[in-house]
Structure formats: structure tokens, C-alpha cells
Structure 1
Amino acid sequence: MTDPAPTRPARQWSLDVTRVISVVGVVAIHVFAEMVAASGIKGTAGWWAAVAADIGFVWVVPVFVMISGALILQPRHYQDGPWPFYRRRLPRLATALVFWSLFYFIVIRTMLSQVPVTRVDLTDLVLGGKPYTHLYFLWLIIGLYAVAPVLASFLRGGGDRRALAFAGTVLAVTVVTGMSSSVLGGMGDARPLTLLALTQWLPYTGYFLAGWALRNVRLSGARLALAALATVAAVGLSVWQYGARPGLPLWDAVVPLTYYGPVVAIASIGVFVCLNSALADWRPGPRTQSVLRELSDCAFGVFLVHFAIMVLLRSVEPFSRAGGSFVLSLLEWLVVVVLSFGVVFVMRRVPGLRRVV
């Protein structure tokens, strides 16, 4: 007698909301980065607003990874072993990696931005794992998907306690390693953590595991309020830390403002748990479900396409001047978000193109 097929779990709408918010935050980081980098306006009210809009979303990439962990580490994906999982997941990611790497390198970087191409650039395109500013994420996800069956096998049968212990240990080791590298660098003994194509995923394994370990954690009442307060404090501290540079060298060394720094880890876990908890009992109506499902399904494509739209938008007025104006940057953010979702919505309905978004 064969075991019954595992039932598909109910859709967790809080994860869809979190995914949509996160991709909107990714766009904010890249849009406001130009203004944040403008040294001539540093310290002004507009500059601080841009820092808040940029660094205020410092948690988005770890949360994206946590969402993936919550969904991908489900045992049902590996009932028939790892190969069916690989055949379902990796071809699409590989296709997207090749397509967008070539698109950004040839069209955006070389033709539009007119950056000269060297042999080092071509080699880095293949080996560096960062063919364009944001495309390291594809190598990151491919790496995590590659090891997902192994991680899921270890987690199977261990319950929430094993999942929490495993995620906590891996994430703690990652954070301490990042802090160690930063402290040594601050002391003049530079030990940068170098990530290449095949290792982009390594520092995010803890977040991947944490997404699974914390998927069912639900806080309410005073505990949710305290968690939300701690999350806001961590985000606020990150904004303040960035804005105060370079006046806090010791703090920057001990508490690096990176995706695997301790404060960012607290903020990321806090956002994930608080949003899941706050929306735990939310059941959207049929129309809202349809819209939210579409937006969530478009998020991956928006992550990939938004940078190209942003670069194109900055070639025309008034957005060519957005780097000096918070109001224009805010408008640019809204336009890039809307256009990105619109473009991906169309691409998902074109045979062939839907495979890359």
C-alpha cells in the first residue's frame, strides 16, 4: 500500500504581501542610492530623507531569502528525491541568469551606458557572480536551490527545535564571520569576504534556514508590539549609522552595516516575523487574492527588470536631475515601480519571455 500524496498547504498570503513590499523596497534602494551618494547635499533634510528611504529597506534581500526558505524547504518538494525538484526549478533560473546577464552587460552597460569592455570584464561576467549591480541575487538563489534538498533532508523529522537550532547556528556563524572581517579591516588588517559566482549563496544560508524555522511563528499582543518596536529600532539604528559616517569608525567596524551584520539580521528577522504575525488571520477576498497573487508572482521579474527601467528613465527629464532632489527621487521610485510591474505583467503573457521573469 502506497503512502497518500502530501496535501498542498494553504497559500500563506502574508508571504505574498511581504514579497511585494520587499521588491518595492529593492527599487527604493537603487533609486535613492544616487541621492545618498551625492556628497554635495550630505546632511540636508532631503539627503536624510533619501537615506531613510534607502537604508530603511536594508532588510529586503534577507527577507526575500527567508521567503524562499519558507517555501522551498517544504518536505513535499523532495518526496521523489532531488532531481525532480532540480528539473522543475533550476532551468528557469538558469535561463533568467543567462538572459539578464547578457541583457544588462550588452544593452545597459555597453550600449546605453557606453562602458568600455575589457577581458577582465568578460571574465568577471562569468566567474564573478555579479554581472550587474543586482544580478548576484540569481547566483545566490541558484546556489541555495542547489543545496536545498540536502538542507531539507537534515531538517526532516527534527521538528521546529532542530530547524531553529540549525538556522540560529548558521546565521550566528555568518554574523560573527562578517563582524570578524570588519573588525580586522578596521584595525588595518584587511580580510574582505570575497564572494564569487559559486559562493554568493553561502552567507545567506542562515536566512534561508530561518525562513523555514520561523514560518509558523506567530506573535500577538505585547510580544508582537515588542518585536515590532525592536524591528523599528534596528532599522532606525541602521539609518542613523549610515548617516553618521564616517564619524563612527569603531561602531562601523564592530557592527558592519551589511546584509549579514547583526543589526540588519535583527531587522530582517523582525520584519519577517512581525508581518507574518500581523497578517496571520487575514483572509483576502477573491478579487484581492487575484491582485495579490499577480503582484507576488511578478515580484521576481520586477527585481530583474527594474534597474533597466531606472537607467532608461534617468536619460530623460526631469529624472536626470533626480539625484539632487528627494521629491524627484520619490516620483522616480513610484514610476519605476509601476512601469516594472507593468512590463513584467506583459512579459509573463508572452511565450518565451515568461521564462525569464
Structure 2
Amino acid sequence: MVAIAGVVLIHTVGATASGPGSTTTVDGWVARALDLPFLWAVPVFVMLAGALGLDPARFPGSAAYLRRRAWRVVPAVLTWNTVYVAYLALTRDGWWRGPRAALADVLVGAVAPHLYFLWIVLGLSLLTPLLVPWVARTARREWVLAALAAYAVPVLSTWPLGPDGSRVGLSHTAWTWWLPYLGAYLMGWALRGVRLPRGTVLPAAAVVVGWMTLLTWQWRNPAAPAWLEQWVGAHYYSPTVAVLSVLVVLLAQTTVRAGGALAGLARPPVVRAVAPVASATLGIFALHYLVLLVGLDTGLFGDPVAAWPVLLVRAVVVGVVTTVLVLVLRRVPLVRRVL
């Protein structure tokens, strides 16, 4: 739930965080503080998917698994891309350039800034039947090594290793979006059940806070040294974000449990209360940006770039309205399949 809240924050305050007053106004700095520290949200989502999806004990076999995932993910990919294409075609003059152009936008993630995640889920789902047998016959050491090797692909692709110091780069298309997140997927399984030693919890939490602060400060900041953004930039493929994601998962596994510092969050009444929302995170992820667009287009949320109190209210309203809508719509059998 914290991860989905982070995603909502990133999108609701993004225009202000990247605006002209990003590093010179209070509104800009508050927006940055609500945006950049949560870059770990998407990698953590993928890690959680790996922790659940790569479990050999829960794997029903390749055919059954692929049928179940196809029935879940493919309708979501088709439905939500269609919904956003239709909305943009109806509300943006000149946006509709024909079905071929719309398909091209879908395949490169140009329809909405978050739908690429559905392609990630689909790609990793197709790969899972190949990974589970390997997981079943290997041990944690192999899982960690494989995760680190896969994580190195996106990290190295953002470093200035090309001709004249350029980035090698990654191709972002529907059929390759899973590749940069394979490391996170494997790491989620590799770290499943791992807990930090008692004496390292506070230092790990301090590192998380420190790196979240660094990400807030360094992104597109003229005062930041050039090498910092070149080698450990504030983006999803950064080595900083990779380590930050791992620490967030480890801290959660260590503290949110019986006997942990946040044991109250693991109590059965709390778990039962949040379970419906937790099961609806995919729907919240898909729908929240549409709620944001409608609110901005109708003027209910003000201008995209806004004062920080407006940003806070906007984020809360988008989160609450989206969650309520998804929980209600999930009661409709056919709609539930895409939420």
C-alpha cells in the first residue's frame, strides 16, 4: 500500500516537481520531496511480484499458470490502453492520428506514463514458467547472483559507457520492458523471508532516509555535480534506487512482523482491514492517472503546477477517489478482471 501511495504521489506532483521553479521555490522543493524519494515504488512492486510468482510450492504448472495470468493480465493491458486512448482522443485536439499511430503509442508507452507497468507484468509472467524450475533446483546464493547480474543490465545501460561518453541505452517497447526489471523480479524471490540483524535496522533506515533525501536534491539540480546524475542518477534504473528498493523490502520484512518494530501493522485485524485495498492495487495503479486527468481537465484540481498545499490535497483526493471507485467496481464480475 505504501508503494501504490508513492506511485500516486509521483504522478500527482510530477508537473510541479519538474517545473521551472523546481529548485528555486518552496512549492518546487515540496513537490520534489513528494516525488523523487518514491522512485523505489515500481521496483518494489516488481520485487513483491517475484516473491509471490516464483514460489515453486505455489506454481500450478506452466499451462495452468499461463492460462491464469493471461486471463488476468491480457484483458488489463487491452482494456486500460483502450480507455486511455479513447479519453485522449476525445479530450485532446489533434491527438487522434488514426489507429496505426495509436497502436504505435501503445507499444512504446506514449499513451499514459504508467501503463508500461502492465507490459512489465505481462513479460515477466511469460518468463515465469522458465524461471520456476530453475528456482526449484537452486539455492539462495544462485538466486542473488542471478538477480545481481540481471540488475546490472539496466544499471550499465544508463552509465556513460558509449562513444564520446554517451549512454548505451535501453529500448523501451512492449516486448522489451520486462528486461530492465528482471533483476528486481529475481531479487524479490531471493530476499523472500530474509530479515536484517537487529543491530542493522536503524543504520539501514538511516541509509534509506539519506538516499531518499539525496534523490530529492540531486535530480535536475544545477548545484549537483554532473558525475552524480551520470553515474547514480535519480531514475528507476539507478544503482541508488536498486539498493534503496532492496533496503525498503528488507526493512519491511524485518519490522512488519510479530516481534518487529512495526508488529502492530501485522496484527490480524489490521491485515483484514487493508486486505481489500491490497488486492486492488493493480486497479488503483491503472485507474488513478485517469482520475487525475479528469480532475485537471475539469479544473477541479487546479493547474498541473500548483502550490504545495494543493498538491497534498490533490494526492489525497486522487488516492481516496480511485480506491473507492476500484473497490466498488471490483464487485462487478466482468470489470473485476481488469482491476
Same fold per superposition (TM over 0.5) = yes
For the pair 1:313 / 2:295, whether they are aligned, the reply is yes
Deviation at 1:272, TM superposition (A): 1.0
Within the candidate set 267, 270, 283, 2:247 is matched to: 270
Structure 2 match to 1:207: 184
Structure 2 match to 1:13: none
- Partners in 2 of 1:231 and 1:41 — Cα distance? 23
- Partners in 2 of 1:87 and 1:301 — Cα distance? 20
The number of aligned residues is 333
Structure 1 match to 2:284: 302
Q: Which runs of structure 1 show a deviation greater than 6 angstroms over 4 or more consecutive aligned residues?
A: none
- Partners in 2 of 1:69 and 1:190 — Cα distance? 28
Structure 1 match to 2:41: 60
Within the candidate set 169, 172, 175, 2:152 is matched to: 172
Alignment deviations for residues 205-245 of structure 1 (CA, whole Å, 9 cap, x no partner) = 00000000011111142211122122222212111111524
- Partners in 2 of 1:248 and 1:309 — Cα distance? 38
- Partners in 1 of 2:303 and 2:107 — Cα distance? 35
- Partners in 2 of 1:32 and 1:128 — Cα distance? 23
1:5-16 equivalent positions in 2, closer than 5 A:
none
1:128-139 equivalent positions in 2, closer than 5 A:
128-139=108-119
Deviation at 1:315, TM superposition (A): 2.9
**Contact 1:234-1:266 at 8 Å conserved across structures:** no
Distance verdict in 2 for CA 1:115–1:296, change over 3 Å: farther
Amino acid at match of 2:36: I
Structure 2 match to 1:34: 15
- Partners in 2 of 1:96 and 1:336 — Cα distance? 21
Within the candidate set 83, 101, 106, 1:121 is matched to: 101
Q: Percent identity?
A: 30
Structure 2 match to 1:111: 90
Distance verdict in 2 for CA 1:264–1:41, change over 3 Å: closer
- Partners in 1 of 2:193 and 2:226 — Cα distance? 39
For the pair 1:85 / 2:62, whether they are aligned, the reply is no
**Contact 1:28-1:54 at 8 Å conserved across structures:** yes
Structure 2 match to 1:22: 3
Amino acid at match of 2:240: V
Within the candidate set 25, 47, 58, 2:28 is matched to: 47
Alignment deviations for residues 280-322 of structure 1 (CA, whole Å, 9 cap, x no partner) = 3237444322221111011110000000100111134452235
- Partners in 1 of 2:109 and 2:300 — Cα distance? 34
Deviation at 1:247, TM superposition (A): 4.8
1:166-245 equivalent positions in 2, closer than 5 A:
166-179=146-159, 182-184=160-162, 187=164, 189=166, 191-242=168-219, 244-245=221-222
Distance verdict in 2 for CA 1:356–1:318, change over 3 Å: closer
Secondary structure in 2 matching 1:203: helix
Secondary structure in 2 matching 1:319: coil
Structure 2 match to 1:152: 132
- Partners in 2 of 1:123 and 1:173 — Cα distance? 28
Distance verdict in 2 for CA 1:190–1:209, change over 3 Å: closer
**Contact 2:157-2:169 at 8 Å conserved across structures:** no
Structure 1 match to 2:337: 355
Question: TM-score normalised to the size of structure 2?
Answer: 0.92
Amino acid at match of 2:29: W
Amino acid at match of 1:312: V
Structure 2 match to 1:323: 305
**Contact 2:22-2:32 at 8 Å conserved across structures:** no
- Partners in 2 of 1:130 and 1:85 — Cα distance? 30
**Contact 1:321-1:328 at 8 Å conserved across structures:** no
Secondary structure in 1 matching 2:114: coil
- Partners in 1 of 2:149 and 2:329 — Cα distance? 41
- Partners in 2 of 1:25 and 1:259 — Cα distance? 13
Distance verdict in 2 for CA 1:146–1:40, change over 3 Å: same
Within the candidate set 292, 299, 302, 2:274 is matched to: 292
- Partners in 2 of 1:340 and 1:356 — Cα distance? 14
- Partners in 1 of 2:142 and 2:315 — Cα distance? 41
- Partners in 2 of 1:199 and 1:243 — Cα distance? 27
Question: TM-score normalised to the size of structure 1?
Answer: 0.87
Unmatched runs of 5 consecutive residues or more in structure 2:
none
For the pair 1:70 / 2:47, whether they are aligned, the reply is no
- Partners in 1 of 2:97 and 2:297 — Cα distance? 25
Distance verdict in 2 for CA 1:195–1:216, change over 3 Å: same
Within the candidate set 341, 344, 348, 2:323 is matched to: 341
Deviates more, 1:157-166 or 1:26-35: 157-166
